[in-house]
Amino acid sequence: MSDGTDPWLVVGLGNPGPEYAANRHNVGFMVADLLAERIGGKFKRAQKAQAQVLEGRVGSPGPGSRRVVVAKPMSFMNLSGGPVNALREFYKVPVDRVVAVHDELDVDFGSLRLKSGGGDNGHNGLKSMTKAMGADYHRVRFGIGRPPGRMQVADFVLKDFSSTERKELAFLVDRAADAVECLLAEGLERAQSAYNS
């Protein structure tokens, strides 16, 4: 476990632009925005990558706090790997200290799953990240469930959350941000036992 001086890179995955802001596919951006709010800073354009970044600390002040770079790639989901890897190299963050926050079809809406490594499960943002830097990064998988009926996956992820889902969304985004902070401060196993549902 680090002493808090080595940075973590927390990447919220999504698509840039107001037309995508409330889509299911953009829940990673929503969590990143909340983490930025908690840190008390504003995103700025990264010098070395097509991304918005914010540097700060998360967790309680003192030994529990962790240095973190929160990032939102501005390259569109399918090309996330290039900006993420450029940031990782610029900030000298090992792959196992990268956390991707993303929507997950195979987890029910309202549930979270944290894990390290593994496949991309058809998620194009993860596919791009894995191609760019290997698979040994952490994932905070925000459940969005499967599309209803015969709706295509691509249509489902690029639609806004339903009115019923929106009633719970702020609470769930808050919980996902808590899970990220717990992962950084206390490690994967502790975060899994507290937040996997």
Cβ proximity of 103 and 42 under 8 Å: no
Which residue, 40, 41, 39, 43, is CA-closest to 29? 43
Paired tokens of 74: 């501005």
Concerning whether 25 is annotated as a catalytic residue, the answer is yes
The residue annotated as part of the active site, out of 25, 102, 123, 138, is 25
Which residue, 84, 104, 112, is CA-closest to 168? 112
> Which residues are catalytic, by number?
25
